[in-house]
Amino acid sequence: MIKTVCKVFVLIIAVTSLNCSAQLSNQEKDSVVVTQVSTDFFNWYIKSAKSGEQAEYNPIEVQDKNGMTTLDFSRYMKNLRKYSFSDSLMKRERMSYVGCIQKLSNIKYTDYLKLTDLDDFENLEDDFTNQYRWTGGQEMFDGYAVSSVEFTKQGAVVHGRLYYVDDTSNENSGGEISTVLIKQDGAWKISDIIY
């Protein structure tokens, strides 16, 4: 009887060890994936901003079929999807422009094109190009580096830092940033960015 109990006990320990080993292996693989998702997004975002390609990372003002002003999200949302934004974050992002769209809908596009004063854009909630949505501030950083990865019950958090490069090519920290990721349809997706 004691031999049987010992064999069962050894078997339980072996199965538990294999299960823990498999979990660690999956976590290591997931750690690489979430790091890559976060890095790919910030590299694209920084490069697009540095190149002045606003239509890639912001909605753009266009004329609707009635000659009024509206926002076109097509390229922006396509890029957010490409760079692994979750459906919920894309929906929240789109909803954050509702006030702007409502106000723009009352302005003829030809009149909109004549606007130059920042106060006019602020009153329309159309001053989103005045700061960088996903990194904060009015100056774009030069790079992004991952500091650590943390797994939670809800998903993963990639902690990183945004930095500037000075004239001597030294990296100067610009700020901490965290990318929150969840599993959506079996793939890691960005559900929030916290800075």
The pLDDT-based confidence of 178 (bands split at 50, 70, 90) is very high
Q: pTM for this structure? A: 0.84
C-beta separation of 179 from 40 below 8 A = no
- Residue 138 CA to residue 49 CA, distance in Å, equals 11
Beta strands at 156-165 and 171-184: parallel, antiparallel or unpaired:
antiparallel
Q: Among 40, 105, 119, which residue's Cα sits nearest to residue 79? A: 40
pLDDT tens track for 80-132: 999 999 999 999 999 999 999 999 999 999 999 999 999 999 999 999 999 99
> What pLDDT score was predicted for residue 167?
73
Q: pLDDT tens digit string along 158-176?
A: 999 999 998 776 767 678 9
Q: Which residues pair with 132 in a beta bridge?
A: none
Other CB atoms within 10 Å distance of the CB of residue 149: 21
pLDDT at position 143: 95
**Nearest 5 degrees, angle CA 69-CA 72-CA 76?**
150
- Which sign does the torsion angle of CA 59, 61, 62, 66 carry? positive
Task: Report which secondary-structure segment, H or E, holds 187.
Answer: strand 187-194
Nearest to 98 by CA among 78, 120, 128, 119: 128
Which tens digits make up the pLDDT trace of 135-152?
Answer: 999 999 999 999 999 999
Q: Where are the domains of the chain?
A: 34-194
Q: What proportion of the chain, given as a percentage, has pLDDT over 70?
A: 86
| Domain 34-194, CATH among 2.60.300, 3.40.50, 3.10.450, 2.40.480 | 3.10.450
